[in-house]
Amino acid sequence: MKYEMVIGLETHVELSTESKIFCSCGGHSAAKEPNDCVCPACSGMPGMLPVMNKRVVELAVTAGLMLNCEISRYTTFDKKNYYYPDLPCAYQITQLNHPICTDGCVSVKTSLGERDIRIKQIHMEEDAGKLVHDDATNTSLVDYNRTSVPLIEIVSRPDFRSSEEVITYLKKLKSSLQFAGISECEEGAMRCDVNISVRPEGSEEFGVRTEIKNMSSFEAIEKAIRYESQRHIDAIEFETEELVQE
């Protein structure tokens, strides 16, 4: 049987702002040494209140306009609990229920022709810190410079049908974001979660998906798609394993 891949992307982009999203610490390129740019607010000290960085809203709206989105007149933040040493508050401030931009679309031109990729939403959120694992001394170090650096997350609908479409979309996104001054998109500043499933060609139903998280190179994304789509096809075709959402 012939199979078709179905892919949806969640793309995290670090914004080029002078300060962090909820405090006045320096933004993504300000730090010189580990833990240079940390204050009571972004290190989660008791009683500290987040104060919204206006520039983050402006850049998120710019991204939304570029991607043909609706811009929300009413937008809210939510706390996403997650206990891990890279997140000193033990929650991430993000947008779940009322994101800043919704219902956009981007066209991509590949060997499959010119197709529209729908954007489900763009939301604003804060980044986590960075853990550095030192095997030589068997220790883990924490760098909070990236904690609370502003991100936008651009969520697509599951509209991609090939890795060529994915890479074409990401390249277009990257050059648009750079052109509009939203992000410099340097190494590691654009990170992707790839959601992938396969289905028999002609089928209307979606298969079980897996999410491959936190990839920052086009090459890695392409390899992951190739590997994972083949694993899904084998699982269905030869019943080698049962696919679960993971």
Q: Which residues bind ligand ADP (CB under 6 A)?
A: 6-10, 155-158, 195-197, 206, 209
Nearest approach in angstroms of CB 15 to Zn ion is 15
**Of 23 and 224, which has the nearer Cβ to Zn ion?**
23
Residues that bind Mg ion (CB under 5 A): 10, 193
User: Per rule CB under 5 A, is residue 56 in the interface with Zn ion?
Assistant: no
**Of 9 and 236, which has the nearer Cβ to ligand ADP?**
9
Nearest approach in angstroms of CB 151 to ligand ADP is 16
**Of 125 and 159, which has the nearer Cβ to Zn ion?**
125
Report in angstroms the alpha-carbon separations of 133 from 86, 159, 181: 12, 37, 33
User: Per rule CB under 5 A, is residue 149 in the interface with Zn ion?
Assistant: no
**Cα–Cα distance between 199 and 205 in angstroms, integer?**
7
User: Per rule CB under 5 A, is residue 25 in the interface with Zn ion?
Assistant: yes
Q: What sign has the CA pseudo-torsion 224, 191, 101, 61?
A: negative
Options 8-16, 36-44, 216-224, 227-235: segment touching Zn ion (CB under 5 A): 36-44
User: What 8-state DSSP symbol labels residue 147?
Assistant: T
User: Per rule CB under 5 A, is residue 48 in the interface with Zn ion?
Assistant: no
**Of 135 and 242, which has the nearer Cβ to ligand ADP?**
242
**Cα–Cα distance between 170 and 150 in angstroms, integer?**
20
Q: Judged by CB under 5 A, which of 5, 6, 21, 23 binds Zn ion?
A: 23
Pairing status of strand 91-94 against strand 3-14:
unpaired
SS3 call for 156: strand
Q: Which residues contact 211 (CB under 8 A, 6 or more apart)?
A: 193, 194, 195, 246
Find the helix packing angle between 163-179 and 218-237, rounded to 10°: 150
Look-up of token digits 């022709």: 113
Nearest approach in angstroms of CB 121 to ligand ADP is 8
**Of 7 and 224, which has the nearer Cβ to ligand ADP?**
7
The residues of the shown chain that bind Zn ion, judged by CB under 5 A, are 23, 25, 39, 41-42
